[in-house]
Amino acid sequence: MKNKKDQTAFHLMLAPGMIFLIIFSFIPMFGIVMAFQNYVPAKGISGSSWVGLDNFKFMLQIPDSKQIFANTIIIALWKIVVGTIVSIVFALLLNEIRVRFAKRFMQTVVYLPNFLSWAILATVVMNIFSYEGPVNAFLGWFGIDPVLFMASNTWFRPMLILTDVWKGFGYGSIIYLASLTAIDPGLYEAASMDGANRFKKLWYVTLPGLMPTILLVTTLNLPNVLNAGFDQIFNLYNPLVYQTADIIDTYVYRVGLVERQYSLGTAVGLLRSVVGIILILSANKLAQKLTDYRIF
């Protein structure tokens, strides 16, 4: 009896959210069929011609599709991995500090770059990595010849990853800082009693305490492996580094300049979704198997 009342409450709670999802997510999903069409706006979905898998074949037929897919995945993966690590490290370092004002100040400052657009940051990045910039000046002290990082296929990707991580780590660390507060102080006390030093406490108390959040955030980030950050690359790249920096989105953008391609865009989106769902479900399974922690 009681349980039935609970069930009703749960359904009722979910109802409004579900209604919104049906209206704004599930109904528009019929648009996915555009991926199998040659969609022409004036004709609409019902009037546009069906082309089967042509849009997907197109992606593979693109003369340098391999390079573009590889670039996308490599850049995105590095960003996810390095970004997560740096966010965690920053949160942990900040957690060691007990001067409250400094803590809040630093926390706030590092979260701000996330809100500056790449169009603005492009000039800053360009100046930092130019021949006259501080990076080359620094290398100059060690007698290293100046490098034009932004024009080098060796350095461009690391530079993309570095600047992206720099922009986002402060914002990314918020969630870890929040979870740190949820760790039971009793555990630290117990560890101290056992004579654990600072590092040991970090290793045996803090990190395990953060683990669920780390797993959770990483899993939620996984679908991004086909999304390497259009705005950043579009604002920073140049033809000399197309080889290592041209990604799916920049390519689709340039295709769009030739002919507006809604169908191709939808096909890319669908591919991304399929890859995303495979990854996210496997990650969930894996997490459950390895750590007994279920995300969904």
Partner 1 sequence: MTVKFRRTCSILLAALLSVAMVGCSKADTSTTNTSSVKLNDPAWKEAMTTPFGAYPETVTYSVGQMATKFTLLAGSPYAKDNATNNVWTRYFKDKLNVQNTSKFEANDGKDYNQKVSMAIVSGEIPDIMVVPDYSTLQQLYENDLIADLTDAYKNSTSDRIKEIYDSYGGRVLDSAKFDGKLMALPTTEISHGPGILWLRKDWMDKLGLQEPKTMDDIEHIIKEFVEKDPGGNGAGKTVGLVVDNENVAGISGGQYTFNNIFALYGAFPKQWMDDGKGNAVYGSIQPEMKPALTKLSDMYKKGLIDRQFAVRTGDDRKALLTSGKSGSFIDNWWGSWIVADSLKLNKDAKWVSYVAPQSEDGSVTMFTGNPSSSYLVVRKGFEHPELAAKIVSLQYDYQRYEEKDEATLKEFSDYSALNVSGSPIVINIDYYDAFYRNVGIMKHALETGDPSELKSNNDISAYHSYKSYLDSVKSGKAPDPNAWAGYTASITTASLVEKSNIKEVNPVFFGSTASMALKWPTLSKMELEMYLKIITGDQTPDDFDKFVDTWKKTGGDLITKEVNEALAAK
Partner 2 sequence: MSPIYVHTVKSRVADIIIWVLLLAFTLSCLIPLVNLVAISFSDNAAASANLVSIFPVNPTFSSYEKLLSDTQFWRSFMISVERVVLGLIVNVGLMILTAYPLSKSSRQFRGQKIYMNLVIFAMLFSGGLIPTFMVVKELHLLDSIWALILPGAVPIGNVILLMNAFRAVPKSLEEAAKIDGASQWRILGRIYLPVVLPTLATVTLFTIVGHWNDYFGALVYINKAANYPLQTYIQQLSVEVQNITDPEKLMELAKISDKTLNAAKIVVSTLPLLLIYPFMQKYFVSGIVVGSVKE
**Interface residue list for partner 1 (CB under 8 A):** 22-23, 26-28, 30, 40-47, 58, 61-64, 122-123, 126, 130-132, 148, 150-151, 235, 238-240, 242-243, 246, 251, 254-255, 257-262
53 binds, among partner 2, partner 1, none (CB under 5 to 8 A by kind): none
The total of other beta-carbon atoms located within 10 Å of residue 62's CB is 16
Nearer to partner 2, 30 or 142 (CB): 30
> Nearest distance from residue 14's CB to partner 2, in Å?
5
273 binds, among partner 1, partner 2, none (CB under 5 to 8 A by kind): partner 2
62 binds, among partner 2, partner 1, none (CB under 5 to 8 A by kind): partner 1
190 binds, among partner 1, partner 2, none (CB under 5 to 8 A by kind): none
Nearer to partner 1, 152 or 224 (CB): 152
Which residues are within 8 A (CB) of 124 and not within 5 positions of it... i.e. 6 or more apart? none
Cα–Cα distances (Å) from 117 to 47, 130, 136, 235, 271, in that order, read: 39, 20, 25, 10, 27
Nearer to partner 2, 66 or 274 (CB): 274
Query: CA 63: distance to chain centroid?
Result: 27
Nearer to partner 2, 77 or 214 (CB): 214
42 binds, among partner 2, partner 1, none (CB under 5 to 8 A by kind): partner 1
> Nearest distance from residue 244's CB to partner 1, in Å?
12
Token pair for 209: 């305490």
Q: Which of 295, 251, 242 is nearest to 58 (CA)?
A: 251
Pairing type for strands 49-50 and 37-38 reads antiparallel
> Nearest distance from residue 116's CB to partner 2, in Å?
7
Query: What sections of the chain are H helices per DSSP?
Result: 2-21, 44-47, 54-61, 65-95, 100-111, 118-128, 134-141, 156-180, 185-193, 198-201, 207-221, 230-236, 242-245, 248-258, 262-291
285 binds, among partner 1, partner 2, none (CB under 5 to 8 A by kind): none
> Nearest distance from residue 120's CB to partner 1, in Å?
10
Partners of 49 in the beta sheet? 38
Dist CA 36 CA 271 (whole Å): 12
Nearer to partner 1, 212 or 269 (CB): 269
Cα–Cα distances (Å) from 122 to 125, 168, 247, 272, in that order, read: 5, 15, 18, 27
> Nearest distance from residue 53's CB to partner 1, in Å?
15
> Nearest distance from residue 190's CB to partner 1, in Å?
47
276 binds, among partner 1, partner 2, none (CB under 5 to 8 A by kind): partner 2
Nearer to partner 1, 66 or 285 (CB): 66
Start-to-end CA span in the chain (Å): 28
| Burial class of 73 by CB neighbour count within 10 A (0 to 12, 13 to 18, 19+) | middle
> Nearest distance from residue 231's CB to partner 2, in Å?
10
